[in-house]
Amino acid sequence: MYPIVLLLLALVGNALAGAEGPPLRTHYPLDRVAPGVYVVHGPRELPNADNQGFMNNPSFLVTEQGVVVVDPGGTLQAGRMLAGKIRATTDKPVVAVFNTHVHGDHWLGNQAIVEAWPQAVIYAHPKMIEEAKAGAAAEWVDLMLRLTEGASAGTEAVLPTRTVDEGDRITVGGLHFRILHEGPAHTDTDIVILVEEKGLVYLGDNAGNGRILRMQNGSFRGNVAALERALTLGATVFVPGHGPSGGAEVAKGYRDFLKTLYETVQAGYEDGKADFEIRPELLPKLTAWQDWAGFEHELGGLLSAAYLEAEAADFE
Ligand SMILES: [Zn+2]
């Protein structure tokens, strides 16, 4: 009998391993941010069991030739939610997807898009694809599963298939997507996308609005430069990686946060202070952002990163 029990346990285990997490429970509205351009603004949280790993800003544009998606979410389930909203909006198929950077909360939803529209072409920066293949993809699938306590089960990494880099201009259905890459910014894999005809910029995680974001292999000066540049493009609509879309104030707000933090840390470093001595000077300067989601959680890491960058800059 004992071996039979073991066999049964093994079968149940296999069934669970193959099971998919349930569809998203929460209904998220589809916001029209420009004519023919839609964003589902996700919660300003980290992935958790309650939000089932959905917490970014998936977007799509309807063109004459088909639909273009930007950052379809962080799980199979989030991607399917977006696919449902696309089908409810248009009969046209998804023909292209852009992934703004390597963080899986933005792109693991690729799986659901390819599941529904296998011909869709997925674009990202070459370093995004390189880092995803080198381990980031597997790490993110695992991280999502843990943070959502299994809700993202069934999610698999479907990698971008084509590279885009600084200066590229992709045309889909009469719309021109201009790609900007500043080198390291939020990460070293980011692209900013200007949709010329819409006067709209996708900032990716170079900006959060009402949410402070972690930097990874990034650069304060690069991130500030990416936002400064985004502000020179003549755009009127700015879509951040997390938090509400809006006008130029979306890019300006996050630029000012990063600039204030970095310049204060740099001045402290030049005065010979340690990072923990700089923190009390920094807090009064960041009161405009102190109530943003993630402020408490991310500040220590950002301060350390800014300190290391100021130190490295000293030797440039
Ligand atoms: Zn990110």
d(CA 81, CA 23): 8
Output the tens digit of pLDDT for each of the chain's 316 residues.
Answer: 455 555 555 444 444 556 999 999 999 999 999 999 999 999 999 999 999 999 999 999 999 999 999 999 999 999 999 999 999 999 999 999 999 999 999 999 999 999 999 999 999 999 999 999 999 999 999 999 999 999 999 999 999 999 999 999 999 999 999 999 989 999 999 999 999 999 999 999 999 999 999 998 999 999 999 999 999 999 999 999 999 999 999 999 999 999 999 999 999 999 999 999 999 999 999 999 999 999 999 999 999 999 999 999 988 7
How wide is the angle at C-alpha 13 spanned by C-alphas 11 and 17, nearest 5°?
A: 120
Give 20-314's CATH code, choosing from 3.30.930.10, 3.40.50.150, 1.20.120.550, 3.60.15.30: 3.60.15.30
Q: Please, are residues 312 and 304 in contact by the beta-carbon 8 Å criterion?
A: no
Residue 311 Cα to ligand 1 midpoint, Å, equals 24
Residue 115 main-chain phi, psi, to 5 deg:
-60, -40
Residue 291 main-chain phi, psi, to 5 deg:
-95, 0
Residue 74 Cα to ligand 1 midpoint, Å, equals 11
- Sorted by where each begins, the domain ranges of the chain are 20-314
Cross-strand pairs, 59: 39, 70
What's the token pair of residue 37? 């351009």
DSSP string, 54-82: --S--EEEE-SS-EEEE---SSHHHHHHH
Residue 5 Cα to ligand 1 midpoint, Å, equals 45
Q: What Å distances lie between residue 111 and 99, 114, 118, 247, CA to CA?
A: 12, 5, 10, 31
pLDDT value, residue 18: 66
d(CA 45, CA 145): 16
pLDDT value, residue 34: 98
What's the token pair of residue 7? 């066999």
Residue 186 Cα to ligand 1 midpoint, Å, equals 7
Kindly state the DSSP code that residue 210 receives in the 8-state scheme: S
Closest CA to 108 of 148, 37, 68, 160: 160
DSSP string, 283-294: GGGGGGGTTSBT
Residue 12 Cα to ligand 1 midpoint, Å, equals 36
Residue 261 Cα to ligand 1 midpoint, Å, equals 19
pLDDT value, residue 15: 47
Residue 132 Cα to ligand 1 midpoint, Å, equals 13
Residue 217 Cα to ligand 1 midpoint, Å, equals 11
Report the C-alpha dihedral over residues 221, 222, 227, 231, rounded to 10 degrees. Answer: 90
pLDDT value, residue 5: 54
Residue 282 Cα to ligand 1 midpoint, Å, equals 24
Q: Do the strands 121-124 and 162-163 form a parallel or antiparallel pair, or are they unpaired?
A: parallel
User: What's the whole-model pTM score?
Assistant: 0.94
Kindly state the DSSP code that residue 215 receives in the 8-state scheme: -
Residue 44 Cα to ligand 1 midpoint, Å, equals 13
pLDDT value, residue 17: 55
Residue 187 Cα to ligand 1 midpoint, Å, equals 7
Residue 252 Cα to ligand 1 midpoint, Å, equals 18
Residue 285 Cα to ligand 1 midpoint, Å, equals 24
Residue 213 Cα to ligand 1 midpoint, Å, equals 7
